[in-house]
Amino acid sequence: MHTSAPIGIFDSGIGGLTVAHAVTRLLPNENIIYFGDTAHLPYGDKSATAIQAYSIKICNVLLQQKCKVILIACNSASAAAYELVKEYVGSKAKVMNVIDPVVAFLGENYANKTIGLIGTKQTVNSNIYRKKIDFLEKGITLKSLATPLLAPMIEEGFFNHNISESIINEYLQNATLDDIEALILGCTHYPLIKKQINQYYNGKVTVLDTSEIVAKSLYDYLESSHLLNEMNAHIRHFYVSDYTQSFETSTKIFFGEQIRLQHYPLWE
C-alpha cells in the first residue's frame, strides 16, 4: 500500500465533514476522498440492514479509488455496519469507525466517572457505546439520550440559531443527563452545535468533540503503520449520492474554499 493512497471518509451527509475537517487539519498532506450519502440521510432513523447496504455500496466506490483507509465517519453506520464492512473490505484497506477511538479515550481519561451520550436513535438503541464501555471495566457510568431532531436540524442549516438553541436546551434538560461530568457528542453532526452545547453547560460539563479524537486515532494508526503521506501535494474529492445546496454550503464553511461536488448515484 502506497503512502500517497487516499483516505476514504463517508457519512450520510454533512456530519462527516466535521471528521474530514479534523483529519485535514491534523494530516494536511493526506489525500482525502469524501462520500456524503445525501440521498439517504439521515442514517439515524434507518434500519441496520439499510445502513449496511448503503455502506457496502459506498465502500465499493472508495475501494475503486484505492483508499488505504476507509473511515466510517458516522456513528449510526459505525454501530450498524462496521463489522460487516471490515469483513467485506478484508485486507484491501484499513477500516476504522468513530466509536472505538472515543471509547478508548474515555477509558484512558474518565475512569469511575459519569458520562452522558447524545446521538441518533440508531446509535443509542444499539447500545454499542454501553457495551464497549462496560467491556473496559473502568467503572464508567453511561447515561444515553436519543436526540433525533438534531441531525436533520443541522442538515437544514439550523445551527448557531435561536431555533437550534431551543431544541438543544430541550434535550439537555432531560433528567437522563443529570449529574454527568462529560458529554459525548455521539453523532458527527453535533460538533457543529458544540458552541451552543457549551453555552448551555457553562463550563460545568466537558463536551467531547469526537471528531478530534477520531482524527488523532487515525494519525496514530498511519504513523505506526508507516503510511503517513510525506508529500506536500494533496487532493480532495467530494462525492454526493444526491446534490443538495446545504452540503455545498457546508463544505465552503468547513474548508474556506469552493469545493467541487461530484454527483455519484449509488443505485444506478
CA proximity to 78, closest of 95, 58, 97: 97
Cis peptide before 42, with omega less than 30 degrees from 0?
Answer: yes
Distance, CA of 105 to CA of 73 (rounded, Å)? 17
74: annotated active-site residue: yes
List strand residue ranges (DSSP E) for the chain, in order. Answer: 7-11, 32-36, 69-72, 94-97, 114-119, 141-146, 182-186, 206-208, 236-240, 261-263
Residue 226 annotated in ligand binding: no
* Residue of 23, 69, 118, 187 with catalytic role: 187
Q: What are 85's three cell numbers? A: 464492512
Set 39, 74, 177, 180: catalytic member: 74
Q: Does 75 appear as a known binding residue?
A: yes
The response to whether 44 counts as a known ligand-binding position is: yes
Q: Residue 90, annotated ligand binder?
A: no
Active site includes 67? no
12 assigned to a ligand binding site: yes
| Inter-CA distances, 155 with 121, 152, 218, 256, Å | 16, 5, 26, 19
Query: Is 11 annotated as contributing to ligand binding?
Result: yes
CA atoms within 13 A on the CB side of 82: 18
Active site residues: 74, 187
Q: Which residues are annotated as a binding site?
A: 11-12, 43-44, 75-76, 188-189
Q: Which residues are annotated as a binding site for substrate?
A: 11-12, 43-44, 75-76, 188-189
